[in-house]
Amino acid sequence: MEQPPIFLWGLRIDEPVTSLTDVLVGVVCLYAWWQLRKLDRPGLSQQYLRYYFLTMGIATILGGVLGHAFLYALSFAWKLPGWIISMISVSLVERACIAHAAPLLSKGTVRFLKTANIVELLT
């Protein structure tokens, strides 16, 4: 079902439900990043997880604003920043999982997973 645009103070906003949902999810991600940052827990998995929430928050807000709300005023290429940052974000959460599981895995398995993570991001 197509969402009709809304107009706020003369400003057209396309896909308002999708745009609002993206912005809200992004704000929740940034809040999670802020709270985890304040905890300052040590460890590589914690660091990756904090960066995951930061980058996913930025990517989701950019996606909602540039990729949905104002895409009518921008070219399709403006969807790329949100997509690229979200790809980095997913890579970071994968890295967090690898770092967290590393003590239970062989060094070869960890090396394989880290390599696969980089290959996945680059392709």
Give the pLDDT score at 2: 81
Q: To 5 degrees, how large is the angle CA 29–CA 98–CA 42? A: 65
* Residue ranges of domains in the chain: 6-122
Per the confidence metrics, is the pTM higher than 0.85? yes
Give the pLDDT score at 92: 98
For 54, the token pair is 């930061």
Bridge partner residues of 7 (DSSP): 12
Q: Is the pLDDT of residue 37 over 80?
A: yes
Neighbour-count burial of 22, counting CB atoms closer than 10 A to its CB (0-12 exposed, 13-18 middle, 19+ buried):
buried
CA 43 – CA 121 distance, rounded (Å):
23
Give the pLDDT score at 88: 98
